[in-house]
Amino acid sequence: MEHIDLRSDTVTSPSPGMRQAMAAAPVGDDQYGEDPSVNRLQERIADLLGKQSALFVPSGTMANQIGLKILTRPGDEVVVGEEAHVVWHESGAAAANSGVQFAVVGRGGLFTASDLRAAYKPPGHIVFPPTTLAAVENTHNRGGGVVFPQQDAVAVCATARELGLASYLDGARLFNAAAATGRPLTELAAPFDLVAVALSKGLGCPVGSLIAGGTDEIARARRARRMFGGAMRQSGILAAAGLFALEHNLERLVEDHANARLLADRLAGLRGVSLDLATVQSNIVIFQMTEDGPDAATIVARAQEAGVLLSAFGVRTVRAVTHLDVTRDQCRRAADLLAAVIEHR
């Protein structure tokens, strides 16, 4: 059976056009700075984000780990929203690689400047770990793909600067935030010292993320990338997929958002499902199975039998993600199948 795969927007396969672009890419040794495709992609992303410079890295996790590495020192504290990717999905890397700890603030992945101020611990205190970084995630994965309100991003970064902290944006899905709000990427990126974006999520590339910021930060990021083993050679093959995706797959993200909305509207009406439609702002739908019914693992298993793949994100939490390899018709069909699975009991 051909499953409708809504586990993640990372499950997409490169399209024939993307594969052609990859095959035809001019390449060179990127560690000598000689890969024209990588150089073009880095310039393009720096430009799109309004930053001086950008660096191509193998994964979003590595982008985040490089950001933490160059903006903190061991023993520092990093302020993040609830269920941040750096806390939940990076295998403990922040503690292992950079020796930092997290202060989790706010609600549902979002937080305000006053949350940051309340959590802030100054340097030089006899017992406190010094807060040196504020890290925002936009859109917020475990928060259900919610957009970080721009006025809060601006205020958080202004407060960070006032307190002497650095600011970092995990924008693995920043392209979705731009599509959801209609705000330019430059505006979303502007408040932050360093910004990461992923090619392997909604843009449908097989591999890659970029980290963008000032020339000095990116020079330090280049060294950290080498230290983490992420410096590559003829990686223009991969960068070409990114250049292709920026041309062809950026504008269409709104379709994924409309498909997620269609799915969410249907799921929210089902008995045994608790779904806050206000959180459905982009391509992610996160819902809870109520206590009186089957748990997330049961629903995921039954959905798989019915032909729909989902992720269990908690004991009663389920995630569905739309992407360029699922059509509107498939999402409609998935909604029908899930309704049958969930209401059948």
Rule CB under 6 A: is residue 7 a binding residue for ligand PLP? Answer: no
Instruction: Determine the residue with CB nearest ligand PLP.
Output: 60
Structure tokens at 110: 């979002």
Site string for ligand PLP, 203-242 (x = CB under 6 A): ------x---------------------------------
Q: In the complex with ligand PLP, which residue's Cβ is closer, 61 or 281?
A: 61
Rule CB under 6 A: is residue 141 a binding residue for ligand PLP? Answer: yes
Q: In this structure, are residues 13 and 22 in contact, taking their beta carbons and an 8 Å threshold?
A: no
Rule CB under 6 A: is residue 256 a binding residue for ligand PLP? Answer: no
User: Which residues make beta-bridge pairs with 103?
Assistant: 79
For the beta carbon of residue 83, count every other beta carbon within 10 angstroms: 18
SS3 per residue for 178-230: HHHHCCCHHHHHCCCCEEEEECCCCCCCCCCEEEEECHHHHHHHHHHHHHCCC
Beta strands in 71-149 (DSSP E): 77-81, 101-105, 131-137
For the CB of residue 298, give the shortest distance to ligand PLP in the complex, in Å: 25
Q: In this structure, are residues 233 and 40 in contact, taking their beta carbons and an 8 Å threshold?
A: no
- Single out the segment in contact with ligand PLP by CB under 6 A; choices: 53-61, 174-182, 187-195, 314-322: 53-61
For the CB of residue 128, give the shortest distance to ligand PLP in the complex, in Å: 28
Site string for ligand PLP, 76-105 (x = CB under 6 A): ---------x--------------------
Q: In the complex with ligand PLP, which residue's Cβ is closer, 198 or 289?
A: 198
Residue owning tokens 């586990």:
7
259-274 in b/e form (b: 16+ CB < 10 A) is bbbbbbebbeebebbe
Rule CB under 6 A: is residue 334 a binding residue for ligand PLP? Answer: no
Q: In the complex with ligand PLP, which residue's Cβ is closer, 42 or 200?
A: 200
- What's the CA dihedral at 218, 222, 228, 231 to 10 degrees? 130
- Identify the burial level of 162 via C-beta atoms within 10 angstroms of its C-beta, where 0-12 means exposed, 13-18 middle and 19 or more buried: exposed
**Considering only CA atoms, which of 325, 251, 247, 210 is closest in space to residue 20?**
247
Rule CB under 6 A: is residue 144 a binding residue for ligand PLP? Answer: no
Site string for ligand PLP, 163-202 (x = CB under 6 A): -------x-x-------------------------x-xx-
Q: In this structure, are residues 128 and 122 in contact, taking their beta carbons and an 8 Å threshold?
A: yes
Site string for ligand PLP, 118-137 (x = CB under 6 A): -------------------x
- Single out the segment in contact with ligand PLP by CB under 6 A; choices: 58-66, 119-127, 233-241, 289-297: 58-66
For the CB of residue 99, give the shortest distance to ligand PLP in the complex, in Å: 20
Chain residues binding ligand PLP by CB under 6 A are 59-61, 64, 85, 137, 141, 170, 172, 198, 200-201, 209
